[in-house]
Structure 1
Amino acid sequence: MAWYDNAVFYHIYPLGLCGCAHENDGQPVPGAFKKLDAWAQHAAKLGCTAIYIGPLFESGSHGYDTIDYRLVDRRLGTNEEFKQFVAACHERGQKVIVDGVFNHVGRDFFAFRELKEHRENARYRDWFCDVNFWGNNEYNDGFSYGNWGGFNLLVKLNQRNPEVQNYHFDTIRFWVDEFDIDGIRLDAADVLDFDFMKGLRRAANEVKPEFWLMGEVIHGDYSRWANPEMLHSVTNYELHKGLWSGHNDHNYFEIAHTMRRLQGLCHDTRLYNFSDNHDVERLPNKLRNRDHIRHIALLVYTLWGIPSIYYGSEFGIEGKKEWGSDWPLRPCLELADYTDAEKTNPVTSIYAALGRLKAECPELSWGEFKELTLTTQSYAYARVLDGKAVVAVYNNGDSPVSMEFQLPVEASGVEDLLADCVGSQPILTQVEWGKLKVQLPSNYATLLRLVG
């Protein structure tokens, strides 16, 4: 199977983690890539086998207004330093993917500068969408143009232009030749042209075996983007929403229904599962009961898909948008502040345990998903492979819960795989007449291995 089918991702927003200036002043943060490598090493200790780092290339501000696709953002360092970063990750057995911001560019991108200078006679006029020389904008360009999300800072590219397509395909080839990256997360994939993405898939198949394409998609039928002709995976925002609201509303039906719907649409395609990222508020700021962070970590790792951790979430840090700004979601952090976290922090402890179990239990990657019992307050399912099973059990209520269900495989007992984690509690289990009885404390979840 391909490497990404059993990968665990660690997501780094480098401009934030390294404390870079919010507007590109051209000044590098000393030792930025050394710091990023230390965090990648930390991720490896958590069992993360892949690093998603981005945005990474030269931009004017937050990284998604790209100025130069072939130059690492000077606030972070140099191309050579990133090349060394990727090599170090590969030595640890970690794959590396970067942001491909191919829908739009920043206003200082070379082709847009040429358009501003030469207007109707511009060589690159057709590289951009909806250029109107009878219009204007807040920059007083004397013309208007298509953008992303209503922001003229982000100039929309014409992806149906063969020159634009080939430019991006050459960018992918450059990134592989120069840095040896292993895949791309396509920004704003839900507005990318479908034929363009098919071309990206053909290019990906040529540049490197098992080169992975994952797209940022919010709503809709994910199989329209994730399929054999286009992308390998997309961001699972549908599950993300259910993860926190299903707990806030004490309603596991929402999560279970979401998984059934996605399986019906996407079948065996593995979607990119996450609890939070650089665009959404952190779990502690969205959950009514922060004990449910444990539940959501288990769900991300044990449901069908590709699990990921957004940097800092393994420590349970907060992050809330302020005055419309996403920067509070993308903080500068120091590993030294979390030296003993695995031994003292229940959230860190559970993520470390899940990373080990993901590596040790093939059922969690390849096992068939079997729902065992479901109520608004309780949920249990198994991942079954070759006569072995790991069972996930959940209680989102403020009172203890008892559940009973048919064993998915023959067994005479159970082992609590998370019993040694910080904050874990004892549970009662009984195997009898082909059934498993479990009593869970309030607001508690764990993983059980069936034995015997």
Structure 2
Amino acid sequence: MSEPGWVAHAILWQVYPLGFTGAPVSVEAQDAVPSHGADGTHSLDRLVGWLDYAVELGMSGILLGPIFASETHGYDTVDYFRLDPRLAGPSGEDSFDVLIREAHHRGLRVVLDGVFNHVGRSFEPFRRALAEGPAAPEFGWFRAIGDPSHQRFENFEGHDALVLLNHDEPAVVDLVAEVMTHWLGRGADGWRLDAAYAVPPAFWASVLPRVRSEHPEAFVFGEVIHGDYPGIVRESTFDSLTQYELWKAIWSAVSDANFWELSAALERHNGFLQSFVPVTFVGNHDVNRLATSIADERHRAHALVVLMTAGGTPTVYYGDEQGLAAAKEEREGGDDAIRPEFDAAGPDALPPGGWPVYHLHQNLIGLRRRNPWLHTARTTNITLTNEFFAYEVSAATGAADEGAGAQRLIVMLNLADSDYTQTLPGACSVVAGSAAWAVVAGTSTVVTVPPHGWVVIQPG
């Protein structure tokens, strides 16, 4: 495992800045209202006002969505070296530096979103390639289709507005290494690599050593949906990647009352942890909100319990800690509902109904912080049915701190309408959740988990 040391204690609050700040949906919309954002209301400055909220939640860093100049949603980059004008407040480009300074002052790391698989059609090198054809110096940066004179280029997953970069071109390697190094030099602490699954691992293996030679403490992980996770990490030289298998299993198992699915995913997760620590999550900017995926609000906490007790580097998508519900729709603008605006007035403007969910997050994040060995912990099944799952999490071999004693927790999740009783060896204590228990002759503990309840237990 090659990740920087600080990542072992990282829990990241993921924010989609263009949505969070209420920025116009496109540059054209911004231009239509020239004064829009001139007071900083719709800029990165707004996020500064929420940093204390993130700290109080228990976060150690901010995982930002795209912030570079683009035309619409941020994933159609037109200039990698310029802050999106929709996010630049009165201080312009300095809005980024202010955010970095204020975040670091609070002990928060800042991880950026790098969209290096494709660019927008207004990306200046692509405009030159269109205008000049093969004579353009940057023509080879893109993948021409058929006769180069026809000026047709490959796009990303059928989206004509997203032009694929040619990752076999050495100049593209140079470009991406330069961009990553530039923003790390301005204070960023790491990178999420968007659509990394669509880029040849050999490309990243060429880029990342150059970046790490200047910034060895940078955390770099790739967006990968499925495939050979350990192989991709090894061949690309990523520190980590997104654990979509576990994400799907968590919400699906809880929603469908099928803990067998979660058990199978955790077994695979154990295997991944032998070679790297995955980035784990129950929500992000591309999927339905957890509160939408799990209709029964009594069971949403169960998903968070799994996230905060399984090995991994957890992320919390902004708004999930307030119990927001929203669905992703397959249409233009279909992501808007899951990428909402947060009020410029700050946390005091939030409705009161979401604060119990926030406090639940605080409780479970606190549990994880008190048990930092959970970062690489493995799970072992104790009892498994469709509606009840008890598992033990324990420190990976060699991961225990000297003098820390036994590093184990037992997690019990009940989706049923009835109590579930489990007998455990030795004495136990409840560290989160609720359950009734009785010690039997000092040799075992009988734990009763209430209907739709959950509990985390400390053995011994």
Letter in 2 for 1:45: E
SS at match of 1:231: coil
Does residue 338 in structure 1 map to residue 353 in structure 2?
A: no
Once the two structures are TM-superposed, the CA of residue 171 in structure 1 deviates from its matched residue by: 0.7
Number of aligned residue pairs: 431
- Alignment match, 1:422: none
- Alignment match, 1:139: none
Does residue 42 in structure 1 map to residue 53 in structure 2?
A: yes
Once the two structures are TM-superposed, the CA of residue 397 in structure 1 deviates from its matched residue by: 1.9
- Alignment match, 1:383: 393
For 1:363 and 1:381, locate their aligned partners in 2 and report how far apart those are by CA, in whole Å.
Answer: 16
8 Å Cα contact 1:301/1:354 also seen in 2:
yes
8 Å Cα contact 2:64/2:111 also seen in 1:
yes
Post-superposition Cα deviations, 1:328-358, rounded to whole Å, max 9, x if no partner, equal 11011223332756xx733212101122222
- Alignment match, 1:79: 93
- Alignment match, 1:401: 420
Post-superposition Cα deviations, 1:268-298, rounded to whole Å, max 9, x if no partner, equal 4211111111100101211131222101111
Letter in 1 for 2:412: V
CA spacing shift, 1:363–1:224, aligned 2, 3 Å: closer
* Match for residue 91 of structure 1 among 91, 96, 105: 105
* Match for residue 129 of structure 1 among 143, 148, 159: 143
Post-superposition Cα deviations, 1:65-106, rounded to whole Å, max 9, x if no partner, equal 000000111101133111121121111111111011001000
Once the two structures are TM-superposed, the CA of residue 367 in structure 1 deviates from its matched residue by: 4.5
For 2:445 and 2:373, locate their aligned partners in 1 and report how far apart those are by CA, in whole Å.
Answer: 19
Once the two structures are TM-superposed, the CA of residue 134 in structure 1 deviates from its matched residue by: 6.8
CA spacing shift, 1:393–1:363, aligned 2, 3 Å: farther
Does residue 415 in structure 1 map to residue 423 in structure 2?
A: no
For 1:322 and 1:336, locate their aligned partners in 2 and report how far apart those are by CA, in whole Å.
Answer: 30
- Alignment match, 2:449: 440
Letter in 1 for 2:327: K
SS at match of 2:362: helix
For 2:50 and 2:235, locate their aligned partners in 1 and report how far apart those are by CA, in whole Å.
Answer: 33
SS at match of 1:278: coil
Letter in 1 for 2:60: T
Post-superposition Cα deviations, 1:192-222, rounded to whole Å, max 9, x if no partner, equal 1111111232123212232111111111121
C-alpha RMSD over aligned residues: 2.1
- Alignment match, 1:311: 318
Letter in 1 for 2:139: R
Once the two structures are TM-superposed, the CA of residue 371 in structure 1 deviates from its matched residue by: 2.9
SS at match of 1:227: helix
Tell me, which stretches of 5 or more residues in structure 1 are unaligned?
136-141, 419-425
* Match for residue 58 of structure 1 among 57, 62, 69: 69
Once the two structures are TM-superposed, the CA of residue 265 in structure 1 deviates from its matched residue by: 4.3
Does residue 254 in structure 1 map to residue 261 in structure 2?
A: yes
Letter in 1 for 2:71: G
CA spacing shift, 1:323–1:253, aligned 2, 3 Å: closer
Letter in 2 for 1:40: L
Does residue 22 in structure 1 map to residue 25 in structure 2?
A: yes
SS at match of 1:380: strand
SS at match of 1:438: strand
Once the two structures are TM-superposed, the CA of residue 434 in structure 1 deviates from its matched residue by: 4.6
SS at match of 1:206: helix
8 Å Cα contact 1:50/1:96 also seen in 2:
yes
- Alignment match, 1:138: none
Once the two structures are TM-superposed, the CA of residue 20 in structure 1 deviates from its matched residue by: 0.7
Once the two structures are TM-superposed, the CA of residue 229 in structure 1 deviates from its matched residue by: 5.4
Tell me the TM-score normalised to structure 1 length.
0.90
- Alignment match, 2:358: 348
Letter in 1 for 2:70: S
- Alignment match, 1:7: 10
SS at match of 2:212: helix
For 1:46 and 1:210, locate their aligned partners in 2 and report how far apart those are by CA, in whole Å.
Answer: 25
* Match for residue 219 of structure 1 among 221, 226, 233: 226
Letter in 2 for 1:414: S
Letter in 2 for 1:360: R
Does residue 264 in structure 1 map to residue 271 in structure 2?
A: yes
| Identical residues among aligned pairs (%) | 29
Once the two structures are TM-superposed, the CA of residue 227 in structure 1 deviates from its matched residue by: 3.0
Letter in 1 for 2:284: N
Does residue 364 in structure 1 map to residue 374 in structure 2?
A: yes
Question: Which 10-residue stretch deviates more, 47-56 or 198-207?
Answer: 198-207
CA spacing shift, 1:119–1:434, aligned 2, 3 Å: farther
Letter in 2 for 1:88: E
Letter in 2 for 1:428: A
For 2:146 and 2:118, locate their aligned partners in 1 and report how far apart those are by CA, in whole Å.
Answer: 17
- Alignment match, 2:131: 117
Post-superposition Cα deviations, 1:209-248, rounded to whole Å, max 9, x if no partner, equal 3211111111112112223851111111111111111012
Structure-to-structure mapping, 1:149-228, within 5 angstroms: 149-177=157-185, 179-227=186-234
CA spacing shift, 1:312–1:94, aligned 2, 3 Å: same
8 Å Cα contact 2:205/2:235 also seen in 1:
no
Letter in 2 for 1:392: V
Once the two structures are TM-superposed, the CA of residue 440 in structure 1 deviates from its matched residue by: 1.2
8 Å Cα contact 1:204/1:212 also seen in 2:
no
For 1:212 and 1:450, locate their aligned partners in 2 and report how far apart those are by CA, in whole Å.
Answer: 34
